[in-house]
Copies of this chain bind each other. A is one copy, B any other.
């Protein structure tokens, strides 16, 4: 809407696009503050800014990839991260062969692969907030522990393993069978 020059949008319009009811749009948004104008709707630019703020997308998230196999390498060259305010600023592996001189060539600025022992130091220097775990399942919890020790608060786990972290840390699973198990559970219990 912003790109198309839209200035104002009503809750009815928004509801149509989101396939929900207009009163639900108004109710949900009002939960975060009063940025609608009765009888008018929402200013597109203001609403966009507010939604980005609500979703945590008004900032750059600095990420590290741990485990530079096929998936890790693919993530290093995934260009759409940049569009979405995510940036991979470090990569780690335990294999010295991968650490020496290996860089992601497809990104504008290459990311060098560091040895896993350097996580804590790099997290501090590069202000890393999210760790992407792309190791084999057997290593996932160990890597999570290393990230927790380095106070990386968010983990996206691509390994097919359940990971536990202390309170105050957040793990989301990105491996599809783990998500499928969760779906099966929800289907069973409804």
Chain A residues in contact with chain B, CB under 8 A? Answer: 18-20, 54-57, 61, 80-81, 84, 86, 129-130, 141, 153-156, 158, 164, 168, 170, 172-174, 176-177, 179-190
How far, in whole Å, are A176 and B71 apart by their CA atoms in the complex?
12
Selected contact of A170 from candidates B129, B156, B183, CB within 8 Å: B183
Q: Which of B61, B141, B176, B184 touches A184 (beta carbons < 8 Å)? A: B61
How far does the alpha carbon of A177 sit from the alpha carbon of B172 in the complex, in Å?
11
Interface SS, A side: mixed
Residues of chain B within 8 A (CB-CB) of A184 are: 55-57, 61, 86, 130, 154
Select which of B158, B177, B187 is within 8 A of A153 by beta carbon.
Answer: B187
Known: A176-B156, A180-B156. A56 touches B189 (CB 8 A): yes
What are 21 of the A-B contact pairs (CB < 8 Å)?
A: A19-B164, A20-B164, A54-B185, A56-B185, A56-B187, A61-B184, A61-B187, A81-B177, A84-B177, A130-B184, A154-B183, A154-B184, A154-B186, A154-B187, A155-B183, A156-B176, A168-B190, A170-B186, A172-B179, A174-B174, A174-B179
